[in-house]
Amino acid sequence: MALIRHGEPAKAVHESAHEQAKEGRMRSRMLKLAARGAAVAAAASLTMVVAFSHANPSYPYIALQRSGGPSNFSVNYLPGKAQIDAELSVLQQQFSPVAGSWDTGWWQNANILQTIMQGYQATHNPVYKNDVRLAFNMNRFISTGYNDDEGWWGLTWVMAYNTFHERQYLYQAEYSFNYMKQSWSASLGGGLTWNQWDSYKNAVTNLLYFDLASQIHDAMHRDKYYLGWARRSYRWLMHSGLMVANGRISDGRYVHGGFDRGNSAYLQGLWIGGLVSYAKATHNQYYIRKAQGVAYASDAAFADNDGILMGVGCEYKGICKDLSYLPFKGIYIQNLADLYRATRNPEFIGFMMLNSESIWKYDRGSGLQAGYIGYYWDGPYSTANVVTLAAGIDALLAGELIRTMPPRPGPGDPRALSLLKEEEMARQLIAAERK
């Protein structure tokens, strides 16, 4: 079975053969998860394409084609734009115009606003634009002292500027950036502390700062000041000791010694998103290749045996109790979608479609919970809230992205994959990550 790989970025001058080989191994593992069900075509030379139903063009499906026509590959059902807008409406109805927020945590509100803006980009519903304006008027200049919170709001206001082209949002993003900058210190070679009074330096805060600097630089038409901070943040992240296997990143470091090796799809999603923004800021496709390597490793490491995303380790056991975990999967899939926008790489199509399809089939509420999406995307549905709903919508929007932005055409990948071998490799990887 040959699967096409489109939009492959140009090879970076400094990329080593070792990095390419490592990326290739992780790509193969992810392909096994994303293309499950393609065993019917294992004996033939086939190409993966996205096709659309003639009866209803809102429903795309993956097809494996040979020269004689499509194979017997199963159709993957996805919700259309109208169904996604209905889910967004449920989320929007929980928005308080008086408070300019949802009844949930502070940084989670910023993340939900990003979902709302993605919904606006997909549907152009003016109600969503008004929600962003109300949130801005009620919540600007509010800071909690936690730099990761500030980073989330900064990225939200950059997205608002890029979506609506109103200068006030960019000014507020700069405010968030400068607020965070106060916590950059020389200890551990640089980097931001988690908050304004502690010495702990965590990956989340610094990844958000890295992404924010890159995005403001781009929004301000190549402002060198913010690009300088993006470069400084990138160098610190790469030399901080937080990097782990396969290009992924761990949680944090203490000034007086020791690391927090916590790992989650959330962290990897932020790393992917930051690299995509940095590639755009620097015009260097090396960082796109690096982001793809992180995505290949993460899709395999944080997916179950059916290719459905798991946000953190406790989810494998069904014992997640920390509510801060609830947005993690949506954040990861949102950043993976950004990587797809930059590359149109069809290797991510299967993963995004599988998760969107699984949510639509197995993780939607009924009765009083109608319109809600739960935490466990492979089901069964459990009691949800606005955070799990927003995360689920992120995945549905990623599926919709495939319909509006099909993969770029290009030559087929001549490498053949042994499905049995790949299945065993994926199983070993997942087992190792769960320990």
54, pLDDT greater than 80: no
Residue 171: the pLDDT is: 96
Q: Using 50, 70 and 90 to split pLDDT, how confident is the model at 265? A: confident
Under 8 Å between Cβ of 381 and 363: yes
Q: Which of 251, 269, 248, 268 is nearest to 259 (CA)?
A: 251
Residue 419: the pLDDT is: 33
Two tokens, residue 162: 């890029």
Q: Using 50, 70 and 90 to split pLDDT, how confident is the model at 137? A: very high
Residues facing 62 on adjacent strands: 50
Two tokens, residue 258: 């020791």
Percent of the chain clearing pLDDT 90 (strictly above)? 46
pTM of the model: 0.78
**Pick from 123-132, 196-205, 300-309: least confident:** 300-309
Segment 387-413 shows an average pLDDT of 80
Q: Using 50, 70 and 90 to split pLDDT, how confident is the model at 297? A: confident
Q: Using 50, 70 and 90 to split pLDDT, how confident is the model at 415? A: very low
CA–CA separation, 60 and 400 (whole Å): 9
Under 8 Å between Cβ of 212 and 155: yes
Residue 20: the pLDDT is: 54
Buried b (16+ CB within 10 A) or exposed e, 105-137: bbbbbbbbbbbbbbbbebbebeebbebbebbbe
More confidently predicted of 416 and 331: 331
More confidently predicted of 274 and 9: 274
Under 8 Å between Cβ of 272 and 294: yes
Q: Using 50, 70 and 90 to split pLDDT, how confident is the model at 332? A: very high
**What is the per-residue pLDDT across 179-215, written as a single tens digit (0 to 9) for each?**
999 999 998 899 999 988 888 888 999 999 999 999 9
259, pLDDT greater than 80: no
More confidently predicted of 245 and 28: 245
Q: How far is CA 425 from CA 1, 312, 313, 388, 428, in A?
A: 17, 21, 19, 31, 5
More confidently predicted of 265 and 131: 131
One-letter amino acid for residue 383 of the chain:
T
Q: Count CA atoms closer than 13 A to 3's CA, side-chain side.
A: 26
Residue 85: the pLDDT is: 93
CA–CA separation, 305 and 4 (whole Å): 23
Under 8 Å between Cβ of 301 and 364: no
Segment 429-433 shows an average pLDDT of 49
More confidently predicted of 109 and 62: 109
Q: Where are the domains of the chain?
A: 17-139+264-434
Residue 242: the pLDDT is: 84
Under 8 Å between Cβ of 303 and 253: no
Residue 210: the pLDDT is: 98
Buried b (16+ CB within 10 A) or exposed e, 255-294: eeeeeeeebbbbbbbbbbbbbbbbbbbbebbbbbbbbbbb
Residue 69: the pLDDT is: 31
Residue 431: the pLDDT is: 52
CA–CA separation, 205 and 215 (whole Å): 15
Segment 356-374 shows an average pLDDT of 91
Q: Using 50, 70 and 90 to split pLDDT, how confident is the model at 44? A: very low
Q: Is 248 left (phi over 0), alpha (psi -120 to 50) or beta?
A: beta
Most confident option among 8-22, 311-325, 328-342: 328-342
CA–CA separation, 288 and 290 (whole Å): 5
Most confident option among 12-26, 34-48, 164-178: 164-178
111, pLDDT greater than 60: yes
Segment 49-54 shows an average pLDDT of 40
**Pick from 32-36, 101-105, 327-331: least confident:** 32-36
More confidently predicted of 33 and 265: 265
Segment 359-381 shows an average pLDDT of 91
In 3-state terms the chain splits into helix, strand, coil percentages (rounded to 5) of 60, 10, 35
78, pLDDT greater than 70: yes
